[in-house]
Amino acid sequence: MKSEQVLADLKRRFPNEPEYHQAVQEVLESIEEVYNQHPEFEKANLIERLCIPDRIFSFRVTWVDDKGNTHTNMGYRIQHCNAIGPYKGGLRLHASVNLSILKFLAFEQTFKNSLTTLPMGGGKGGSDFNPKGKSSAEVMRFCQAFMTELWRHIGPDTDVPAGDIGVGGREVGYFFGMYRKLAHEFTGTFTGKGLTFGGSLIRPEATGYGNVYFLLEMLKTKNIDIKGKKCLVSGSGNVAQYTCEKLIELGAIPVSMSDSSGYIYDPEGITTEKLEYVKELKELYRGRIKEYADTYGCKYVPNARPWGEKGDIALPSATQNEISGEDAEKLVSNGIFAVSEGANMPSTPEAIEMFQKAKILYAPGKAANAGGVSVSGLEMTQNSERLGWSSEQVDEKLKWIMKNIHENCVKYGTEKDGYVNYVKGANIAGFMKVAKAVMAQGIV
């Protein structure tokens, strides 16, 4: 395999999908050497089979707002690969959603799920519907309209969706309720459900907690204590909130949060009390992060991200490509020694190159933010057994999974000079498991 040739062919066949091309390129460059050590992979054209989704569903979603006006959005579900388990991945509701973004997310999800050690394939879906500014009744009507098409393509042993950007507990509840009505069954077809109808403890916290657990494993390799370290966190949704919560619990000092309007920088640190304010602001009032600055009298910068501020550790927890090469240069020059990604592909290729050139600890999202889907997998297990586990049980399993992912990254990513290339390690570890499963099942 020559990664340039494979990528050029994908660009020719699927033009105008930059996020998808970016995700594929990163993986191909990491695995090329290992892939070429297996001529049987090339004979079976394995790489093309793993780059192109099994199937893509796209459909119109028509819903009615509170004033009686009719609106139309696009709905999608990408079923990328189910060689090691049912398709598994979230639904994203955001104005930016398109096929390129969902294909990149489903591709990444396949290898991320492989890393978790759990039997889950990769998928992703969503819509260009934006829930911001919509009433709960409008969101419910949209979710129900979306599910009238999607329900026939999913199931507990087929494809198990979950939440993502724009899809929290409220939306998952509406999706699941409509699925249950249409499918005439109560099964673990969704994860991220409410605790009263099959959800798992620790699931809301899992992505943020898991990212911090992975960060701790990285810091151990350098004998660094997280206590007292200033942490730049982006985002203010679920992932960012629980990242901050775990950082505070461990004695670290989160100093920033953001949303699509700008970021706040609180040099005194975001405390438990301040974080509770953010949770209420975002979850109850759907407010903007600027209100934090107004309330606590700290710095607010509109239309920007916090990567120019000083800190020790960066935890991007918002969205893809939020750290540019220029941002990465600022982070390194300001003394950041570790970056652990809570979002999916938040660093551009230029940023990743900068981090690795500076030899700082850098964990890609497919490894560091795998905690969310890991606990989703544990939720699937609990649903299958018709049992619920305690918070302590789930948290211990989450810690074990993140430690296991870190060990695999070190195993496959340690370079001759001792530097751990976590991107390479995660890509190879995730790829090899899926590749071996596909090969064992023949040409299908």
| pLDDT one-digit tens code per residue, 140-185 | 999 999 999 999 999 999 999 999 989 989 999 999 999 999 999 9
| pLDDT one-digit tens code per residue, 215-254 | 999 999 999 999 999 999 999 999 999 999 999 999 999 9
Q: Which pair of structure tokens corresponds to residue 46?
A: 């394995």
Q: Is 112 annotated as a binding residue?
A: yes
pLDDT value of position 2: 85
CATH topology for the 205-368 domain: Rossmann fold (3.40.50)
| CA–CA gap between residue 388 and residue 382 (Å, rounded) | 6
| pLDDT one-digit tens code per residue, 353-372 | 999 999 999 999 999 999 99
Domain limits of the chain? 53-183, 205-368
pLDDT value of position 284: 83
| CA–CA gap between residue 241 and residue 115 (Å, rounded) | 24
Q: Is 421 annotated as a binding residue?
A: no
What's the CATH number for 53-183? 3.40.50.10860
412 alpha carbon, distance to own chain's centre = 22
Pairing of strands 70-81, 122-127: antiparallel
Query: Contact 434/110 with Cβ under 8 angstroms?
Result: yes
> Nearest CA to 439 among 28, 88, 81?
81
Q: Is 163 annotated as a binding residue?
A: yes
Q: Which pair of structure tokens corresponds to residue 165?
A: 């950007």
Q: Is 194 annotated as a binding residue?
A: no
Q: Which residues pair with 126 in a beta bridge?
A: 76, 92
Q: Is 11 annotated as a binding residue?
A: no
pLDDT < 70 positions in the chain: none
pLDDT value of position 167: 94
Residues labelled as active-site residues: 124
pLDDT value of position 283: 85
Helices (H), 256-370: 272-279, 290-296, 325-333, 349-357, 365-368
pLDDT value of position 1: 80
* pTM given for the model: 0.91
